[in-house]
Amino acid sequence: MGEITKIAVAPPIQVGGSLFTPEQLATIGAILGMNAKIEMTSFKQLYLEVPLEQREVIVEQLERTGLEVYPAGFVTKSLIACNFCKGAEEAGLAVAQKLNQSIAGIETPMPLKIGYAGCALGTSEPLLKDISVVKMRNTYEVFVGGEPKGLKISIAQSLRSGLSEDQLIPVILSLINYYKANAKGKEKFRKFIDRMTIELLQQVVAV
């Protein structure tokens, strides 16, 4: 057997949440075979182990069914979004899709979970993500530092509020890039925020 690599697979961000079609699941099964093990991660991605030499062909097959394929490992994960229960336009589906295209798969010191909620109900649990966006009527608020693991969980703090659609992605990207440039080794994002302070990060992302 040749070298094996891991890829992350997710359905597109859409009204209704993380929805797979029968065709997509059948394609995954046909590619991997009967004895494969598929990992469902906490960030709504499936991890698939595939032969490295066949990676490009397999990615093309998966994408033809409408699935999205991302790198696995120490990267920003694809956006963990809500179900857009208030409707695509009111909950900002197009903005969430654009944000996902901009941030998913960026190499980082530790894996980053980035969340999105289309309203203040926060059904996608945005305050438990490393970085999250909550749509507040016609503007967006960014939170940082959520940590759901351990006996002492951390609730994310507000970093910026009242952001326009045009401001949102630059703020998120500047935050990710600052983390990449200033983290100490494999420093978790929550610890990074505590060391840097929320006040400093607010200056970093000022636009």
Per-residue pLDDT, 207:
64
3-state helix, strand, coil in the chain (%, to 5): 35, 25, 40
- Which mean pLDDT values do the consecutive 10-residue runs of the chain (207 residues) have? 90 95 96 91 94 96 97 96 94 97 97 96 93 96 92 91 96 97 96 96 89
CB 125 within 8 A of CB 95: no
Residues of the chain with CATH 3.30.70: 4-71
Q: 4-71 architecture in CATH?
A: 2-Layer Sandwich (3.30)
Cβ within 8 Å of residue 154, ≥6 positions away: 145, 146, 147, 190
- Dihedral pair phi/psi, residue 157, rounded to 5°: -105, 150
- Write down the pLDDT at residue 59: 97
Q: What is the C-alpha separation between 191 and 154, in angstroms, rounded?
A: 11
Please tell me the distance from the alpha carbon of residue 12 to that of residue 100, in angstroms, as a whole number: 10
The correct answer on CATH 3.30.413.10 for the domain covering 80-204 is yes
- Report the 10 Å Cβ neighbour count for 193: 24
**pLDDT at residue 86, rounded to an integer:** 92
* Ranges for all domains in the chain classified under CATH 3.30.413.10: 80-204
Distance separating alpha carbons of residues 203 and 108, to the nearest angstrom: 21
Question: Which pTM was predicted?
Answer: 0.93
